[in-house]
Every structure is written in C-alpha cells, then in structure tokens.
Amino acid sequence: MQQIKRKTILGIETSCDETAAAIVSFSNKKFTVHSNIIRSQINIHKKYGGVVPEVAARQHIISVIAVIEQALETAQKTVGKIDAIAVTAGPGLITSLMVGVQTAKTLSYIWNKPLIAVNHMKAHVYANWINNKKIKFPAICLIVSGGHTELVLLKKDTHFKKIGQTVDDAAGEAFDKTAQLIKLEYPGGPEISKSAATGNPNAFTFPRPMINSGDFNFSFSGLKTAVLYTVKKQKKHDSKMTADLAASFQQAVVDVLTIKTAKAAKKYQAKSIMLAGGVAANKLLRETLQQKAADLGTNFYVPDIQYCTDNAAMIAVAGYFTPKQNLNKIKINPNLEL
Ligand code: KG4
Ligand code: ZN
C-alpha cells in the first residue's frame, strides 16, 4: 500500500441510482467503516424497468445532503474530524456524477479539506480491502457490475492493467435484461438469483459465449437472445419455468466468468483472485470462483455483500490509494477508464 497520510475520509457516491455517503478511517494498518449510508432509488426506477438518468439526478439532488449528514452523525460516536473527501468522478451517468462532484467540491472548499476524485470501478476493487486483508500480488480481479465486465491484472494495489472486457453487454446488464424477458423485476440480478434457487441449472442448454476464445474478453448479448428464443418457444410459462430459465441462465454466466478468470490467473501466475462489483453479490458466482481459486491453490477475496453493490465506503477506501487533486482540476468523466 502506498504511504497513507489521510486518516479519516468522507466518501460520496452518486454515479448511478444509489445516493451514498460513508466515513472510513485508516489506522494500525486497518480500515474501519464508521458509517455507510445508502439511499437507493430502486423503487423509483422499477416501474420504468431500468434507471432513468434525469430522474436519477433529481433524486440525488434531493437526497445527497441528508445522506451526508446521516453519515457524519452516525460516525460522530466513533471518529473525530474528517481529513479528506473522496467522490466518484466516473464512470457513470453524467448528471448523477455532477451532483456528487459539485457537492464534494463545495464541502472541500468550505471545510478546507483535500478532495480526491475516485474511479468508481477501481473503488469496486478496493472494496476488497475493507476487511483489512493483506492481498498478495500479482492478483487477477474480475469486475462485474451493471455497466462493466472486466478482467484486471494488479501487480500492486495501485497498478491496474485491463486484460479483457465484454465486447457487448456487461454481466449485470445481461442479468437485468434477461430478468425482463422472463418477467422478473428490476434489478434483475438479485431477482434471477432468488428465482434460480428453486430452478434446475441443467433444464436448458444455453451457450457459453467466448468460453474458448483464447483471449480474456466476454460476450453476453447472444446468451440473452438464446433465452428470448427459448421463452418464445414455450407453450406455458409458470413459476417453475421461470426458475429453470433463471437457473440455466445464471449457470451459463457463472461458467464463462469463472472459467476465464481461472485461465487468466493461471496465465499470469496470480497469487490471488479477487471478485468485485454488483454481480459479485451473486452467491453462485462467489462460491464457484472460490472453488476455482482453491483448485488452483490461489488466495480468494470477495467483499462482504453490502460492499459489492454501489456504496460509499468503497469510495472512501479508494480515496486512500488515489492522489488528491486541485479543486479546479477535478473533472467528471462518464466514460472514465480504469
Ligand atoms: O456495481 P453495481 O451496484 O452498479 C454499477 O456500478 O453498475 O452493479 C449493479 C448490477 C446490476 O446489474 C444488478 O442486477 C447486479 O449488479 N446484481 C446482481 C446481484 N445483485 C446485484 N447480479 C447477480 N446476482 C446478484 N445477487
Ligand atoms: Zn458500481
């Protein structure tokens, strides 16, 4: 870990449909989460079947100050002053990002505290440090979220090299779109995983796209289309059918993700395999990748479920690893790369 000077960080996250703030401190080589407040907009976007950017930004404006206040109040019992502010500057929805960044800039100016612009995808990876693990390098991290699916080689905690990514839909996007096809609610990931628990993963043989492609890229749009054709062919559609479709789809996604991650770990002689992002909350994915890592004799790390989906504790932790910037130089970048 690089030299850490900032001791207590306020993290702010508004890149998509969660308004979040958290206070995290670092002492005795340990991160402690003093507060982790998340105000989700899921119930508002549910009726549209996905996140509506303009609606999301308006909700962030309504919530952001109350959420920060609550994070500060909760943390007050266990920690003193704030030393710095970390905020997501990208990737994400531009108008949503603007709310968090402008709020953070204002607080940084009036409190006279340094501001750190954080990359949301790196923050997902840094969620793995929350439980104070000593991660061994080189490490391979599979990042799977609503907008991204990436395989990353980390030579050290601040050195990220993307070795593969999706060529079309992200894994979370595939879960969300497939859920719509089989009449499950948004967000599709948790719904599919719930329904799959009672389904048969071998009921339908769905493709495992690019499983033998020889590179570390992924593709999920064909898999979603395969589910669509299967749904169209069925004469009746009851809850057993939904569960079987969900389980078969989930198995196909998990097979591709875990087999390719294990191949990358072998190729790069990784000492650790890490999992990160919202889809890392998926039980089958967590368990299957853990088993694959054990088979390879590699360490395995995954954040607690509450730190897999969007949260501000991971943004604060990322603040420890990211250099601070001059207020005027901080730019929002909706397409920020790793
Ligand atoms: O990281 P995240 O919270 O937001 C982004 O940065 O995109 O990821 C959200 C994605 C959604 O697509 C959601 O369906 C998926 O994570 N997700 C899951 C599960 N929980 C959330 N996917 C599969 N299984 C889950 N249990
Ligand atoms: Zn995210």
Q: Which of 38, 42, 145, 286 to mutate to test the pocket of ligand 1 (most atoms within 8 A of CB)?
A: 145
Q: Is the pLDDT of residue 332 over 80?
A: yes
Lining residues, ligand 1, CB within 6 Å: 16, 145-147, 172, 175-176, 187-190, 193, 277-279, 281-282, 309-310
Q: Closest ligand 1 atom to the C-alpha of 124?
A: 1
Q: Which of 93, 176, 279, 308 to mutate to test the pocket of ligand 1 (most atoms within 8 A of CB)?
A: 279
Q: Picking from 25-29, 150-154, 210-214, 219-223, which range would have the lowest pLDDT averaged per residue?
A: 25-29
Cβ burial of 246 (10 Å; 0-12, 13-18, 19+) is buried
Task: Write the CA distances from 27 to 79, 171, 207, 314, integer angstroms.
Answer: 11, 36, 48, 16
Q: Closest ligand 1 atom to the C-alpha of 173?
A: 12
Q: Is the pLDDT of residue 338 over 70?
A: yes
Answer yes or no: pTM beyond 0.85: yes
What does DSSP assign to residue 269?
T
Mean pLDDT, all residues of the chain: 95
- Give the tens place of pLDDT for each residue, 218-269: 999 999 999 999 999 988 889 999 999 999 999 999 999 999 999 999 999 9
> Residue 107 corresponds to which amino acid?
L
By alpha-carbon position, which residue is closest to atom 7 of ligand 1?
146
Q: Is the pLDDT of residue 104 over 80?
A: yes
Q: Are 206 and 228 in contact (CB under 8 A)?
A: no
Query: How far is the centre of ligand 1, averaged over its atoms, from the C-alpha of 286 (Å)?
Result: 13
Average pLDDT over residues 162-185: 96
Q: Are 84 and 324 in contact (CB under 8 A)?
A: yes
Q: Cβ neighbours of residue 134 under 8 Å, at least 6 residues apart? A: none
Q: What percent of the chain has pLDDT over 90?
A: 91
Greatest Cα-to-Cα distance within the chain, rounded to the nearest angstrom:
65
Go through 34-73 and write b for each residue having 16 or more CB atoms within 10 A of its CB, e for each that does not.
Answer: bbbbbbbbeeebeeeeebbeeebbbbbbebbeebbeebbe
**Residue 327's pLDDT band (boundaries 50, 70, 90)?**
confident
What's the start-to-end Cα distance of the chain, in Å? Answer: 18
- Give the tens place of pLDDT for each residue, 125-162: 999 999 878 999 999 999 999 999 999 999 999 999 99
Average pLDDT over residues 69-95: 95
Which ligand number lies closest to the CA of residue 178?
1
Query: How far is the centre of ligand 2, averaged over its atoms, from the C-alpha of 170 (Å)?
Result: 12
**pLDDT at residue 5 in the model:** 64
- Surrounding ion ligand 2 within 5 Å at CB are 145, 310
**pLDDT at residue 235 in the model:** 84
Query: How far is the centre of ligand 2, averaged over its atoms, from the C-alpha of 252 (Å)?
Result: 22
Q: Is the pLDDT of residue 80 over 90?
A: no
Q: Is the pLDDT of residue 23 over 60?
A: yes
